[in-house]
């Protein structure tokens, strides 16, 4: 059964009598496995106290855009990044209007504007306000932008009217949130990601390696977690901390990475090879430090196995995604790799430009499939990783991948 295990839900509470149901909603989201943090608008605090929401969520409630204490802990950008889903329940007519305008002058609106996560609103208002053309036009605009609208329901209202405008019940909202993850993400799937450089020893202190920082691979692992996958990250030497909720396995050489990938690939639905794997290793690494006695020395190198290609060749192969670092003819070179290695998708990464590549936080990615090429807007590695994972999830849900019999029978 799909639940909200591992999901981070930011619950936004705006002003309305239905805010009294938000405490129950927090409890039910948590029962479904989600971690919940709460942002309240000023008018929401007229209907339910922040203390109640703090007690049920187990975290301090965020209220002010420019609160020095909160900014020191988690500011609006951190909250926006933290969220796997921003759910605004209740969403008042006023809040819906603010969201439509793209306002950023209160914390909740600013978080909605700053997040790359899906945003859902659960409208709650008087039936006349609901049917007003202004509200309906606002909602049509929000829907067009990809905002999910949960409800409202019909029935008797706090003001005595009967009609549309009642906030959906917490149980319905939890169900809809669950559905959202199920249809869009990688819920319940296992993803194996390689990241970082490899280290091919020459002697105990020297090696052949490369400048990969691991940032892109780690960002892909985090994006897959956010999409609901179980993630096994197999990383060469990097300076990065292990991401939360990811099973991280640290390796050194390409051969070790190959062995570790193959020890785990049986469980994988998706393999994403982001590591910059050394193509060659030293034929005879020395067990003692080499002394500089000779004027010249020659290192004999032998080919490392191609991890990505070996995964794509498996009889029960996962959906297999490669990365290609190219300096020129990006699409043509990457497409050649896609075909040669028989991949489902390759993400081509232009290197050698300022503001992209190995050590940068920014990157540029072009996604290449057999029939199409998708240029992702340049952005930080985290945003690009989310876009890549979103694309993979869509490809899987659209049934593009039928190469793995295990997956086809799901």
Interface residues toward ligand CTP, by CB under 6 A: 194, 254, 273, 275, 277, 279, 304, 306-308, 322-325, 337
* Tokens at 172, concatenated: 């319905």
Count of alpha carbons within 13 Å of 272, Cβ hemisphere only? 28
* Residue 235 CB, nearest approach to ligand CTP (Å): 12
* Residue 71 CB, nearest approach to ligand CTP (Å): 39
With 0-12 CB in 10 A as exposed, 13-18 as middle and 19+ as buried, what is 2? Answer: middle
With 0-12 CB in 10 A as exposed, 13-18 as middle and 19+ as buried, what is 136? Answer: exposed
Cβ proximity to ligand CTP, 114 vs 278, nearer residue: 278
Is the distance from CB of 161 to CB of 125 less than 8 angstroms? no
* Collapsed DSSP state (helix, strand, coil) of residue 275: coil
Report CA-CA distances (Å) from 332 to 264, 312, 319, 367, 373.
32, 20, 22, 12, 11
Q: Which residues are catalytic?
A: 159
CA distance 26 to 297: 67
CA distance 285 to 302: 11
* Residue 384 CB, nearest approach to ligand CTP (Å): 15
Cβ proximity to ligand CTP, 251 vs 275, nearer residue: 275
* Residue 391 CB, nearest approach to ligand CTP (Å): 16
Cβ proximity to ligand CTP, 180 vs 307, nearer residue: 307
* Residue 186 CB, nearest approach to ligand CTP (Å): 19
Cβ proximity to ligand CTP, 279 vs 339, nearer residue: 279
Residues 6+ away with beta carbon under 8 Å from 259:
none
* Residue 274 CB, nearest approach to ligand CTP (Å): 6
Residues 6+ away with beta carbon under 8 Å from 209:
197, 198, 199, 200, 237, 278
With 0-12 CB in 10 A as exposed, 13-18 as middle and 19+ as buried, what is 68? Answer: exposed
Cβ proximity to ligand CTP, 25 vs 277, nearer residue: 277
* Residue 327 CB, nearest approach to ligand CTP (Å): 10
Cβ proximity to ligand CTP, 53 vs 278, nearer residue: 278
Cβ proximity to ligand CTP, 63 vs 253, nearer residue: 253
Q: Rounded to 5 degrees, what are φ and ψ at 85? A: -150, 135
Q: Rounded to 5 degrees, what are φ and ψ at 250? A: -100, 130
Q: Rounded to 5 degrees, what are φ and ψ at 280? A: -130, 150
Residue whose structure tokens are 């290192």: 299
Cβ proximity to ligand CTP, 198 vs 383, nearer residue: 198
Residues 6+ away with beta carbon under 8 Å from 164:
127, 130, 131, 152, 153, 154
Is the distance from CB of 379 to CB of 365 less than 8 angstroms? no
Contacts of 139-146 with CB under 8 Å at 24 or more apart are 139/96, 141/100, 142/96, 142/99, 142/100, 146/118, 146/119
* Residue 258 CB, nearest approach to ligand CTP (Å): 7
């Amino acid at each position: 059964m799909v639940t909200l295990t591992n999901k981070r839900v930011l619950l936004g509470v705006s002003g309305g009598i239905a805010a009294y149901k938000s405490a129950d909603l927090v409890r039910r989201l948590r029962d479904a496995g989600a971690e919940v943090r709460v942002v309240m608008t000023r008018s929401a605090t007229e209907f339910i106290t922040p203390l109640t929401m703090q007690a049920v969520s187990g975290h301090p409630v965020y209220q002010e855009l420019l609160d020095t204490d909160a900014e020191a802990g988690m500011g609006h950008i951190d909250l926006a990044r933290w969220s796997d889903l921003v759910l605004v329940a209740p969403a008042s007519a006023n809040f819906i209007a603010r969201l439509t305008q793209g306002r950023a002058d209160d914390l909740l609106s600013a978080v909605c504007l700053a997040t790359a996560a899906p945003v859902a609103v659960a409208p709650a208002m008087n039936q006349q306000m609901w049917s007003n053309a202004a509200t309906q036009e606002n909602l049509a605009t929000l829907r067009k932008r990809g905002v999910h609208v949960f409800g409202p329901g019909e029935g008797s209202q706090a003001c005595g009217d009967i009609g549309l405008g009642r906030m959906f019940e917490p149980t319905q909202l939890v169900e809809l949130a669950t559905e959202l993850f199920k249809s869009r993400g990688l819920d319940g799937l296992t993803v194996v990601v390689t990241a970082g450089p490899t280290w091919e020893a020459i002697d105990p202190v020297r090696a052949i390696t490369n400048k990969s920082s691991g940032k892109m691979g780690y960002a892909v692992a985090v994006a897959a977690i956010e999409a609901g996958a179980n993630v096994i990250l197999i990383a060469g030497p990097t300076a990065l901390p292990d991401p939360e909720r990811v099973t991280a396995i640290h390796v050194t050489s390409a051969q070790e990475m190959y062995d570790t990938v193959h020890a785990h690939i049986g469980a994988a639905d998706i393999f994403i090879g982001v590591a910059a794997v050394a193509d060659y290793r030293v034929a005879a690494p020395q067990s003692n430090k080499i002394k500089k006695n000779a004027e010249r020395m020659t290192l004999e190198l032998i080919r490392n196995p191609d991890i990505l290609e070996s995964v794509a060749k498996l009889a029960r192969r996962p959906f297999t995604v490669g990365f290609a670092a190219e300096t020129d003819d990006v699409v043509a070179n990457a497409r050649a790799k896609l075909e040669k290695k028989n991949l489902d998708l390759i993400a081509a990464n232009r290197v050698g430009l300022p503001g992209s590549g190995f050590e940068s936080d920014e990157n540029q990615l072009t996604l290449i499939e057999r029939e199409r090429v998708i240029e992702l807007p340049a952005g930080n590695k985290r945003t690009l990783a989310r876009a890549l994972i979103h694309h993979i999830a869509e490809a899987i849900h659209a049934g593009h991948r039928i190469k793995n019999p295990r997956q086809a029978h799901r």
